[in-house]
Amino acid sequence: MTTMTVTRQEITSLTGDVLKEVSAIANGPCLSLYQPTHRRHPENQEDPIRFRNLVKELEASLHQKYPAAEAQQLLEPFHALAQDGEFWNHALEGLAVLGAPGYFRALRFSQPVDELVVVADSFHTKPLRRFLQTADRYHVLSLTLHGIRLFEGNRRSLDEVDLTKAVPGTIDKTTGEEAPEGAGGAGLPLRHGLGGKGTEADNEADRYFRAVDRAVLEHYSRPSDLPLILAALPEHHHRFHEVSQNPFLVAGGIKINPESLSAEQLREHAWEVVEPQYQARLETLHGEFEQAKARGTGSDMIAEVAEAAVAGRVATLMVEAGREIAGRLDVETGRIEKAELGAPDVDDMLDDLGELVTKMGGTVLVVPAERVSLPNGLAATYRY
């Protein structure tokens, strides 16, 4: 019997590499389970109960095609997770649990996901892609001289990221000197202030900020492609932007002592920075699609988009969040066949199209219906 290990991955670590890992699983059947969850008691007491009910739905779908012994082996880690009280005590707003022969992964989400179970030849990855390919995700770097914190957020929530040891915690981790006592927080004094160039204090600050910048770029910004918003005192903004080599660092930022802000206040300030860029990007993409459609180099008809995707012609695909079109997509010919989602080997064709376009080097964005109107659930702009 193949041994399966439960691997728990926090949403703060969800990157393109995780999606590639999931998408590379080819030894079906692949079991995908998504459910909304709750952070707090008593609402979270219902989460494992609902999870068990969804596992029963997976079991019913499996039994339509696979022997009972094989189904039992596939569901064993799902049943074990249902009994893990520690796991359920640390839920966020959403959960994805993915299982296949020899593979099992549980992913927490910082915003709700639609309840769904799918048994197919590949994993249902649209909710995962939603996090990686929506334009509303961002990082916030809370920077002071005696410590930094990193957050990942969207328009609804903001959660702290567990930092790797490669990120220096304080200025003294880069200078090796003992920090003087003084006013804490972002107001911790540098020995001679930051007033004049060339002072030892200035050099210490530069070394510290460069070290932070390098570590955040390497371990967080580059793997995620997320914009980075700096939250710091105004004088620290100027110096950090001067030394930063991070192309994901946005102009402006939050010029307030971050330690004076609650997590919700920090999210509100961050969204004020992100929202105009987010909406502008969506409007630009939709405008480009309308122009392409008028020229015959774009479409919002699923059959046409499927043929173009198989040929590698789709440059950008927008998919409406929450929309599902059940059926089968032939990735060799682009032929589509509508069917019921609960049947074996049937998935959401929008999800399958997104995966195909990504493999062909295109860009996929899952967009909220209230921000962009997609009457047919998708819109594609072609390369030619």
User: In what helix (H) or strand (E) does residue 262 lie, and over which residues does it extend?
Assistant: none
Q: Residue 122 and residue 329: Cα distance in Å, rounded?
A: 12
- pLDDT higher than threshold 50 for residue 7: no
Report yes or no: 264 and 274 within 8 Å, Cβ to Cβ. Answer: no
Q: Residue 193: is its pLDDT beyond 70?
A: no
**Predicted local distance difference test score (pLDDT) of residue 99:** 95
Distance CA 19, CA 131 (A): 10
**Has residue 334 got a pLDDT over 80?**
yes
Q: For the whole model, what pTM was predicted?
A: 0.71
At 38 the pLDDT is 92
Which alpha helices (DSSP H) does the chain contain, by range?
16-23, 47-62, 68-82, 85-88, 126-133, 172-175, 200-216, 222-224, 234-243, 263-295, 302-310, 349-359
- One-character DSSP codes across 119-159: EESS---HHHHHHHH-TT-EEEEEEETTEEEEEEE-SS-EE
What is the greatest pairwise CA distance in the chain?
75
- What per-residue confidence (pLDDT) applies to 161? 86
How large is the average pLDDT for residues 76-103? Answer: 92
Q: Which of 149-163, 193-207, 277-291 has the lowest mean pLDDT?
A: 193-207
Amino acid at 173: K
Question: What's the first-to-final CA gap in the chain, in angstroms?
Answer: 49
Q: By percentage, how much of the chain surpasses pLDDT 90?
A: 53
Amino acid at 78: F
pLDDT digits (tens, 9 = 90+) for 353-382: 988 998 899 999 888 888 899 999 999 999
Cα distance between residue 85 and residue 67, in whole Å: 30
Taking 60 as the threshold, does the pLDDT of residue 85 lie above it? yes
Compute CA distances 264 → 131, 163, 165, 260, whole Å. 20, 20, 26, 12
Question: What is the predicted pLDDT for the residue at 358?
Answer: 87
Round to whole Å and give the CA distance between 25 and 16. Answer: 15
- Alpha-carbon distance of 278 to 297, in angstroms, equals 25
Strand partners, 151: 140, 160
Average pLDDT, the chain: 85
**Tokens found for residue 171:** 């200025």
* Residue 277: pLDDT over 70: yes
In which residue are the tokens 């994805």 written? 96
Burial class (CB in 10 A: 0-12, 13-18, 19+), 185: middle
299-321 pLDDT, tens digit per residue, is 999 999 999 999 999 999 999 98
pLDDT > 70: percent of the chain: 88
Task: State the Cα–Cα distance between residues 38 and 44, nearest whole angstrom.
Answer: 5
Q: How far apart are CA 379 and CA 303, in angstroms?
A: 12
Query: Residue 53's closest CA among 72, 38, 33?
Result: 33
Q: Which residue did the predictor score with more confidence, 183 or 330?
A: 330
pLDDT band, residue 174 (cuts 50/70/90): low
Helix (H, G, I), strand (E, B) or coil at 36: strand
How far apart, in whole angstroms, are the C-alpha atoms of residue 226 and residue 216?
A: 11
pLDDT recorded at residue 259 = 93
Does residue 74 carry a pLDDT above 90?
Answer: yes
